[in-house]
Amino acid sequence: MVGIISSGFHGRRQSGNPALPPGQYETGSFPVLTAGPAPRIPTDDWEFFITTEAGQRHAWSWAAFMALPQMDIETDIHCVTSWSKLGTRWRGVSLDSLFENVETNCRFTMAHSYGGYTTNVALADLLGGRAWVAWEFDGEPLERAHGGPARLLVPHLYFWKSAKWINGIELTQDDVPGFWESNGYHLHGDPWREERYS
């Protein structure tokens, strides 16, 4: 079978590097993968929301978001198209901070991006110091092509879960497939278990 998806990114396969999940190779670049045009969101217009099953809506303006505790994160990232980038440096707000006053019984969420992209993430994967809304990469404001002004960062899952141009999180009772999950990709996406496809 001829491969029809051309991600355009190829690198030397490496083995024996314990930082690389199965089937991944290391890249020094930062490939831009996206399912559509990059929306333009001035920070004056940007907001981040969390909605609950009870109809409550928590929202932060850019200024309110920046006033929250900021964290520096160093982490490896793993794209489902097989590249991994090790030791990336980010700055952002922990989802633990954003969920601090949110009451819910839901176990699942849907991340919504400006531009319409969605991805489902279990609430447990967003909490416990494992997920952030990141606005800085490598000491610089996050470039628009990489999701600026802010993107979700869930580095322990394949990077399609780290939604660019993040707008908000909707709490859901059920695990509802998002943009890629509804068309062949895994609901969870753990790179160490190679949860690529459904």
Of 99 and 114, CB closest to another protein: 114
* Residue 195: both structure tokens together: 């949860």
Question: Residues 27-46: x/- map of binding to another protein (CB under 8 A)?
Answer: ----xxxxxxxxxxx---x-
Position among 24, 110, 167, 171 found at the interface with another protein (CB under 8 A): 167
CA distances from residue 67 to 46, 47, 63, 137, 184 in whole angstroms, order as listed: 15, 13, 6, 18, 39
Q: Is 184 in the site for another protein (CB under 8 A)?
A: yes
Total number of residues binding another protein (CB under 8 A)? 39
Kindly state the helix (H) or strand (E) to which residue 47 belongs, with its residue range: strand 47-51
Question: Residues 117-146: x/- map of binding to another protein (CB under 8 A)?
Answer: --------------------------xxx-
Q: Are strands 118-122 and 71-78 parallel, antiparallel or unpaired?
A: unpaired
Report phi then psi at 77, rounded to 5.
Answer: -125, 145
Contact 92, 136 (CB under 8 A): yes
Q: Is 23 in the site for another protein (CB under 8 A)?
A: no
Cα 50 versus chain centre, distance: 15
Q: Is 71 in the site for another protein (CB under 8 A)?
A: no
Position among 64, 174, 182, 193 found at the interface with another protein (CB under 8 A): 182
Q: Is 7 in the site for another protein (CB under 8 A)?
A: yes
What letter represents residue 83's amino acid? W
Q: Is 80 in the site for another protein (CB under 8 A)?
A: yes
What letter represents residue 193's amino acid? R
| Least distance between another protein and beta carbon 119 (Å) | 11
Q: Is 162 in the site for another protein (CB under 8 A)?
A: no
* Residue 27: both structure tokens together: 């890249």
For tokens 């969605």, the residue is: 118
Q: Which stretch binds another protein (CB under 8 A): 63-71, 101-109, 127-135, 181-189?
A: 181-189
Contact 95, 131 (CB under 8 A): yes
* CA nearest to 134, candidates 72, 85, 79: 72
Q: Is 69 in the site for another protein (CB under 8 A)?
A: no
Binding site for another protein (CB under 8 A): 2-9, 31-41, 45, 80-81, 112, 114-116, 143-145, 160, 165, 167, 180, 182-185, 196-197
